[in-house]
Amino acid sequence: MSTKPAALYHRIVVWALFAMLLLPLLGTFLYSISTSWSATVLPDGLTLKWYIQLWTEPRFLNAFLQSILVCVGALLLATVLILPLLFVVHYHFPKLDGLMNVLILLPFAVPPVVSSVGLLQLYGSGPLAMTGTPWILVGCYFTIALPFMYRAITNNLLAINIRDLMDAAHLLGASTWKAALLVILPNLRKGLVVSLLLSFSFLFAEFVFANLLVGTRYETLQVYLNNMRNSSGHFSSALVISYFFFVLMFTWIANRLNRDRG
């Protein structure tokens, strides 16, 4: 058990860190609701006009929607491919899990800029030409989401002893398909939802691949934010705060679901 001075010290460190992280955000928020704020300690006045301007701006709304579409597309692809893959690996070929753990780390082994150049060369021309289209982003984001989803669902699978559950279901008359659908899949629901929400938050913030592979031809939120960097600081701040709350909401839901698992 920690002593009183030690507990106080720990508390101060935590609060100092919290303040350090929160202050820039508070500053940005304050800037996003100020009429103007340049030569004074406090803003001249408060307004919501930057938010109204932002949320009525067609280009922003389009970028926001396109970001959601690309992320949802990538995560749908990931779900459709990873769930059967995990089932096959863990039920039929458990020894392949070691190999999979190496494979899923590959997207992180290559820096995004290097990887983007490779993707541009590979998909820039020829029969698979898709640079500048959302499809290349969907494929690329799938590889980024893969490790998060694979690990989260694997942990879920290890907790339920898939082999015995499948054997029990088979002996009770279920086919492999029915056993997977009625017994295994419902037990992966929480792991899947949590990994999807966390991956969504992560992909929603992705900039390097979006900018290099697609750029303004299919503008995502981060690319839009980059392109608007020279516009009004108040407007950009409203954009950053809106983005932050959107991602915060997703992360909060993921954490809530994760906590419910106990």
Partner 1 sequence: MSFLSIQKLDKRYGTTSIFTGIDCEIARGEFVTLLGPSGCGKSTLLRCIAGLTDVSGGRILVDGQDIVPLPPQKRGIGMVFQSYALFPNMTAAQNVAFGLRMQKVGKTESDKRVVDALAMVELGEFAARYPSQLSGGQCQRVALARSLVTRPRLLLLDEPLSALDARIRKLLREQIRGIQQELGLTTIFVTHDQEEALTMSDRIFLMNAGQIVQSGDAETLYTAPVDAFAAGFIGNYNLLDACVAEALLRRTMTCRIAIRPEAIGFGGDIDAQIKGHSLLGNVIRYRVEARGVELVVDVLNRSAADLHATGTLVGLSIDDSAIREVA
Here's the x/- map for partner 1, 112-151, by CB under 8 A: it reads as ----------------------------------------
168 touching partner 1, by CB under 8 A: yes
Cα–Cα distance measured from residue 71 to residue 202, given in angstroms and rounded to the nearest whole number: 9
For residue 3, is it left (φ>0), alpha (ψ between -120 and 50) or beta? Answer: beta
Q: Applying CB under 8 A, which of residues 85, 174, 253, 257 lies at the interface with partner 1?
A: 174
Least distance from partner 1 to the Cβ atom of residue 157, Å? 12
96 touching partner 1, by CB under 8 A: no
Give whole-number Cα distances, 97 to 40, 88, 103, 108, 154, in Å.
60, 10, 10, 18, 9
Degrees, nearest 5: CA angle 144-150-153: 135
- To which residue do tokens 């070691």 refer? 98
Least distance from partner 1 to the Cβ atom of residue 164, Å? 4
In the complex with partner 1, which residue's Cβ is closer, 77 or 174? Answer: 174
Q: Applying CB under 8 A, which of residues 4, 177, 186, 229 lies at the interface with partner 1?
A: 186
In the complex with partner 1, which residue's Cβ is closer, 127 or 173? Answer: 173
Q: What is the 3-state secondary structure (H, E, C) of 179-214?
A: HHHHHHHHHHHHHHHHHHHHHHHHHHCCCHHHHHHH
Q: Applying CB under 8 A, which of residues 119, 169, 192, 221 lies at the interface with partner 1?
A: 169
Cα–Cα distance measured from residue 96 to residue 35, given in angstroms and rounded to the nearest whole number: 59
178 touching partner 1, by CB under 8 A: yes
Selected range binding partner 1 among 8-16, 63-71, 140-148, 178-186, rule: CB under 8 A = 178-186
In the complex with partner 1, which residue's Cβ is closer, 42 or 172? Answer: 172
Of 77, 55, 75, the C-alpha closest to 221 is 55
Q: Applying CB under 8 A, which of residues 175, 216, 231, 255 lies at the interface with partner 1?
A: 175
Give whole-number Cα distances, 144 to 106, 204, 226, in Å.
9, 12, 21
Least distance from partner 1 to the Cβ atom of residue 167, Å? 5
Binding site for partner 1 (CB under 8 A): 160-161, 164-165, 167-175, 178, 182-183, 186-187
